[in-house]
Structure formats: C-alpha cells, structure tokens
Amino acid sequence: MMRGALRVGLSVVVLLGLTGCAGDFRYNWQWSILTCTSENIDAGCIGPYFYWILQGLWWTIAVASAAWVIAFSLGSVIGILRTLDKPILVVVPFVKSPIYFRTRWIGTSKGIITVDVGWFLHGFANIYVTVFRNVPLLVQLFLWYFVFPELVPHDAGMWLKRDLPFPEVSTAIFCLGLYTASRVAEQVRAGINSISRGQQYAAMAIGLTPVQVYRYVLLPVSFRIIIPPLTSDFLGVFKNSSLALTIGVLELTAMTRQIEEYSYAGFEAFTAATVLYIGVTAIVMGAMRIVEARVRIPGMISLQAK
Amino acid sequence: MESGGFDFHIVFHSIPFLAKGMGLTLLLTVLGIAGGLVFGTVLALARLAPFKVLSFAAGTYVNFFRSMPLILVIFWFYFLVPLVLGQEIGAFQSVLIAFIMFEAAYYCEIMRAGIQSVRVGQAYAGEALGLTYPQNMRYVVLPQAFRNMIPILVSQAIVLFQDTALVYVVGLSDFLYSADIIANSENRLMEMYITVAIVYFALCSWGQFQVRNLQKKFAHE
C-alpha cells in the first residue's frame, strides 16, 4: 500500500510538471485560494473555498456510498436471478383446467395449473440489465429527475417534487444505485457461472436445497472471485457521482466548477479535486486488497493468481 | 406539466435538429475511438516494453486517468487546451482531446490484456526466426491480439458512445444537448427525454447484439 501511495504521489508530480512545461503555458497559479476559510477579499477569497471542497468531498462520498448499498444488494439479487436455469413452479390455487396445455411459463398437470415463476424472474432480470446498461447514465438521471415525477400518479408526483428530502441528492443516489446494480448483476452472474458445474451437482447430491446450494456453495466462492471487478465498479460509483452536478448536487466536481466561476482560479480547484479523487481511489484499492487477502480461501488457485 | 399529456408532434418537428446533434455525437464517437485506439496501442506497447522508465510512465498515465471522473477530465481540457495552445480552438476540439486522452487509458488496458492473451510461444517463435522486437509485434503478436480483442473493443466503443452524452456539461450540441434545448424551449421535457432514451437504447442494444455475434463467431473458430 505504501508503494501504491508513493506511485500516486509521483504520478501527480510528474503530470503537474508536464502540464507546467507544455507550450507557452502561462498561468498565474494562486494556490493560496485553496486555503480560504472565510470571505476575505484582500486574500482573493470570495467564498470559503476550503470548506466548499470539503463539503463537495463529503457529498461525493455520501452519494457514492448510499448508491453502492442499493447497487450491491439489488445487483446481487438480479445477478442471482439471471443464473436460474430451472423452473420454479407455483400452483395456481382454486383453479382447475379441464384441458391440457403447456407453454414455457404456464402449464397443466392432472388439471392443476402451474406457473413457472422462475421464467418471469429470469426474464425480468435480463430486461433490467439490458435497459440499464444501454441508456447513458446522464439520460437516466434526467429521466428520474424530470420525467419520472410526471409519470407516476399525481399525488406521488407532487410528493416527489415537493416533500422528498434533498430531492437532487435522493434522485442521484437512487439513479446511480439502479444503474450500478446492472453492472454488479453482470459481475455476480459471471462469478457464479465461473464456478464449475461439478460443485453445484456435488452440493445437490449431498441433499442441499437450491437455496442452500446458493447460500453455502455458489455465493461464498463467487463473491470472493469477483472482488477485483466489484472494486472497479465501486470506484465507478465515485466517478459517476460527478454526473449529479447536472441536476444540482454540489459534489466535489460541482464545487470546483463553482470555485472556478468565483475566483477564476480553476486549475487550482481542479487539481485539488483530482488529488482527492486519486486519494479515494488509492484508499479504496488498498482497503479492497486487504479484504481480498483476509477472505481468501486457502488453496484456491484462482484467487491466489489474482 | 401545464400543457398536460403526451405530445410527440414536437419530436417529429425537431428531427432535423436532433439528427444534427446525433451527427456530432457520432463524429465524436468515431474520432474518439480512432484516436483512443492509436494512442491506447502506443500506451500498451510502452507498458509492456522491456524498458522500466517507459512502462512506469505508461502505467502512471493509465492509473491516473482511470481514477478520474470523465466530467472532471472534460473540464480540465476545456480550460487547459486553449491555455496551452495560446488560442481559442473551440469546445469540440478540446472535448475531443479529452476523450482521446481519457479513452486511451481504457483502450490501453484492453490492448494489454489482448497482447498478453497471445501465447508466449508465438513471441518466442518470432524471435527464433530472427525478427526484431518491432517486427515481432507488428507481424506476429498484434494481429493475433487484435482478433482476440475485437468483441471487447466494440463493447468499449458502446461505452464511449454513451459517454459522449457528457459533453452536455460544456454545452456542446450533441444529441442529448440538442434534445435538451428543444425540451426546455417548448416545455416538453417528458417527450424529448423519453425519445432520447429510446434512441440511445436502440443503438446500444444493436451494438450489444453485434458484440454477441462476434463473440459467437470467434468462439467457434
């Protein structure tokens, strides 16, 4: 982790150096504005820029973390649904069919009508992933923020527009969570599918129910396998939270833009934001490496190789 | 909404304007892919090169851009490019440079995985034939690597196509921003945003379908 931090530090220095040397780059650096803690015109502080940046960082972390909770829980469920390949038959009560018929999702057996719920769940999960992956996140954000309140019943729409606490932030969290869930679902599915079929058959052979097969055999292994791609999805949430500035969430990038507008010292603010984003990335990557090492199953080659 | 109900007439009337926006989106996508591929390949070669300084510099570049949000990169270049060049060159060029620099980092990682997926024996065989390092890369490793990478490169192209919507933040009239202009001037947010979503969805789904076909095609061979 120390080496990682050193690398990050070095890279910042190198890149800043490069930008400084390029062409006839004339820019009057005023690093002092980043330390503005109160309004002080003489020192070039029209606002408490230092606190703005901290506040922006706080909102970035808050939005990203909350969105990740939604993304991880929903994404896991949808990913699992996408791996279901056996029918889950549910008997329709009180209704008997005089004729025999059978389709992919509904059929009869001795007059009793059964519906394959698994087919619906599987289909829903597939549609969910397709829709959320194939529409740009920014468009999704606008749909949730501007269009969704108009589509729901009138009272609910009014509540969304008037009484929802922190409307911009809540919408951003919700939207980012649902979007990232589709990515998490793909990782979870890939993780489960990467486990050899033999494991599943062995679990069934010793008498585990389908739920137990997932709970005790498939999920514990697959979640360990997908830690690296999940880490990059988690970092993706941090980066994507910057899109929330378009609907008025004052997160880190929005704050730097605001400082640029107030002070014309944009590069200082952008640099601060860049360093903070890189810092968040480095911390998350370091933490996930520790988690990965902690939960490693001894003797599992596929995990040690990564 | 005061006017109430759906009215998709406005969408039909604005098709020429929207098509112009889509033209800019596609141009940005194509140029971004082309530039990103070329620069990304150079980065990947540098990253895998046997010289420590080169691979370290390329690695730093990639990690740097991969930990930054695209919007921040767009802002950086939007303000930086005119300063470095000493003259205004317009938002499109600044944004295009930002996209190429940003996407190159991602293409580099795809390339690296692709190059590493070529069996080591191939490179050894090339060396044994007396090929130099550049020749070995050019005639033996890269052609095979590109073939392995095609599906994932197309996937990344779809991601880039979606990412171009972010030029909204600097007010460049791409597809989304054009629709946004009409949506706000005619107070028809619902119709315009839904139309935009459907168009993006249709194009990206078509792209995904092609990716799946490519994957099947390469899996058979």
Reported as a pLDDT band with limits 50, 70 and 90, residue A11 is low
The whole domain housing B87 covers 18-172
What mean pLDDT do residues A202-226 have?
92
What mean pLDDT do residues A105-116 have?
84
The answer to whether residue A2 scores a pLDDT higher than 60 is no
Reported as a pLDDT band with limits 50, 70 and 90, residue A22 is low
Chain A contact set for B82 (CB, 8 A): none
* Contact call for residues B173 and B21 (beta carbons, < 8 A): yes
CATH number for the domain spanning B155: value is 1.10.3720.10
Q: Listing from the earlier edge strand, what are the strands of the sheet with A89-96?
A: A89-96, A112-116, A106-109
Q: Rounded to a whole number, what is the distance in Å from the CA of A281 to chain B's nearest CA?
A: 6
- Per-residue pLDDT at A183: 94
DSSP B180: H
Q: Is residue B90 part of a domain?
A: yes
Q: Is residue B99 part of a domain?
A: yes
Q: Is residue B64 part of a domain?
A: yes
Reported as a pLDDT band with limits 50, 70 and 90, residue A176 is very high
Give residue ranges of B with CB < 8 Å to any A CB: 1, 57, 60-61, 63-64, 67-72, 75-76, 79-80, 83-86, 158, 162-163, 165-166, 168-169, 176, 180, 189-190, 193-194, 196-197, 200-201, 204-205, 208
pLDDT beneath 70, residues of chain B: 1-5, 220-221
Reported as a pLDDT band with limits 50, 70 and 90, residue A1 is very low
Domains along the sequence of chain A with CATH: 2-305 (1.10.3720.10)
The answer to whether residue A139 scores a pLDDT higher than 80 is yes
Cβ contacts of residue A94 below 8 Å, gap of 6+? none
pLDDT above 70 coverage of chain A, percent? 89
The answer to whether residue A42 scores a pLDDT higher than 80 is no
- If you compute the radius of gyration of chain B from its CA atoms, what whole number of angstroms results? 21
Residue B6 identity (one-letter amino acid): F
Instruction: Return the higher-pLDDT residue of A218 and A101.
Output: A218
What mean pLDDT do residues A254-269 have?
85
The answer to whether residue A39 scores a pLDDT higher than 90 is no
- Of A82-96, A104-118, B149-163, give the range with the top mean pLDDT: B149-163
Average pLDDT, chain A: 85
The answer to whether residue A166 scores a pLDDT higher than 90 is no
The answer to whether residue A4 scores a pLDDT higher than 70 is no
* Contact call for residues B163 and B70 (beta carbons, < 8 A): yes
The verdict on ipTM greater than 0.85 is yes
Q: Is residue B194 part of a domain?
A: no
Tell me whether A158 touches chain B (CB under 8 Å). no
Q: Rounded to a whole number, what is the distance in Å from the CA of A39 to chain B's nearest CA?
A: 26
Residue A106 backbone phi and psi in degrees, to 5: -140, 145
Average pLDDT, chain B: 89
pLDDT above 90 coverage of chain A, percent? 48
Q: Rounded to a whole number, what is the distance in Å from the CA of A217 to chain B's nearest CA?
A: 29
In terms of phi and psi (left: phi > 0; alpha: psi -120 to 50; beta: otherwise), the region of A48 is beta
Comparing CB atoms, the residue among A130, A143, A253 nearest residue B205 is A130
Q: Is residue B168 part of a domain?
A: yes
- Per-residue pLDDT at A268: 85
The answer to whether residue A241 scores a pLDDT higher than 90 is yes
Cβ contacts of residue B51 below 8 Å, gap of 6+? none
Residue A125 backbone phi and psi in degrees, to 5: -65, -40
Domain count, chain B: 1
DSSP chain A: -HHHHHHHHHHHHHHHHHHHHSTT------GGGGG--S-BGGGTBSS-HHHHHHHHHHHHHHHHHHHHHHHHHHHHHHHHHHH--S--EEEEEEEE-SS--B-SSEEEETTEEEEEHHHHHHHHHHHHHHHHHSS-HHHHHHIIIIIHHHHS-HHHHHHHHHTSSSHHHHHHHHHHHHHHHHHHHHHHHHHHHTS-HHHHHHHHHTT--HHHIIIIIIHHHHHHHTHHHHHHHHHHHHHHGGGGGGGT---HHHHHHHHHHHHS-HHHHHHHHHHHHHHHHHHHHHHHHHHHHHHPPTT-HHHHH-
Which A residues 235-254 touch B at CB under 8 Å? 235, 238-243, 245-246, 253
Residue A169 identity (one-letter amino acid): V
Q: Is residue B180 part of a domain?
A: no
Q: Is residue B191 part of a domain?
A: no
- Per-residue pLDDT at A13: 59
- Per-residue pLDDT at A269: 87
- pLDDT tens figures, A272-291: 999 999 999 999 999 999 99
Chain B contact set for A8 (CB, 8 A): 63
Alpha-carbon distance of A27 to A298, in angstroms, equals 55
Instruction: Return the higher-pLDDT residue of A19 and A251.
Output: A251
The answer to whether residue A213 scores a pLDDT higher than 90 is yes
- Per-residue pLDDT at A305: 39
Comparing CB atoms, the residue among A19, A139, A278 nearest residue B193 is A139
Tell me whether A24 touches chain B (CB under 8 Å). yes
Comparing CB atoms, the residue among B72, B193, B200 nearest residue A253 is B72
Q: Is residue B96 part of a domain?
A: yes
What mean pLDDT do residues A265-274 have?
87
